[in-house]
Amino acid sequence: MEEILSHNLKEIASRYAVNNFVENGMTVGLGSGSTAAYAVEALAERISSEGLGIAKMIATSAETSRLAFFHGMTAARELNAITGWLDVTIDGADEVDPDMNVIKGGGGALVRERLVALRTKREVIVVDESKLSSSLGERHAVPIMIVPAAWETTAERVADVCGATPKLRLTPVGDPFVSDDGLYCLDVETGPIGDVAKLEQRIKLITGVVDSGLFVGIAHTIVVAKSDGKVDVYDRSE
């Protein structure tokens, strides 16, 4: 029952974003994960019901590109296809703090998600209210993408910086999870993080680390679907 409710809320948030922030002729980034998947579906529906024209779609993962294809759309998964700026990207998150900083990467697509977000005029994060917290790290581990070579020594350096032992993410059959870019993923249960911007920078300086799931100052808009079915929208003031 809870699962059904949470999926309804994911859909409500995603549909709200597609209906309110995507306009005819825009270039659109498609996020990854179960919430963003509803945005792909909602976009396909607007294209077929209203004749909405999307100038270009960019997918943040191979899985999202396949999902778009399944819904009859073409979304480039080659990120060099981004020329200029995308008008809007709709993506999910694992945790959101009151300053609109987020943790991403529960699906292992965070490197591409950040690459797309940084080329987007309006990065819209869609979540259900269970993802809100007062400090990042309170509810979700921080995913960190690393090169597979010497991953154990990288994990030691990550442990030193984060003050917690990272876990190598595994697939259901026990092999290391490998991202679209051939990277491994460490999940670090940091607990509530005091200074997220500082930790983000410190993690990014570790040799062997490609990127972390701490997205500080990147979201422009957060759409939160609440358990009463209503939606709250937060915009970052410039």
Whether residue 141 contacts residue 180, with contact meaning beta carbons closer than 8 Å, is answered with: no
- Which residue in 214, 211, 234 sits closest to 223, CA to CA? 234
What residue spans of 76-195 are helical by DSSP H? 110-117, 151-162
53 vs 217, beta carbon nearer ligand A5P: 217
In which region does residue 228 sit, left (phi positive, over 0), alpha (psi from -120 to 50) or beta (all else)? alpha
Alpha carbon distance 198, 134 (integer Å): 17
107 binds ligand A5P (CB under 6 A): yes
Rule CB under 6 A: which of 30-69 touch ligand A5P? 31-36
137 binds ligand A5P (CB under 6 A): no
33 vs 208, beta carbon nearer ligand A5P: 33
Rule CB under 6 A: which of 83-102 touch ligand A5P? 91-94
Of the candidates 113, 129, 189, 238, the residue annotated as catalytic is 113
Among 12, 30, 110, 219, binds ligand A5P (CB under 6 A): 110
14 binds ligand A5P (CB under 6 A): no
Alpha carbon distance 198, 230 (integer Å): 34
238 tagged catalytic = no
Alpha carbon distance 140, 97 (integer Å): 12
Q: How far is the CB of 97 from ligand A5P (least distance, A)?
A: 15
Annotated catalytic sites, by residue? 113
List interacting residues with ligand A5P (CB under 6 A). Answer: 31-36, 91-94, 104-110, 113
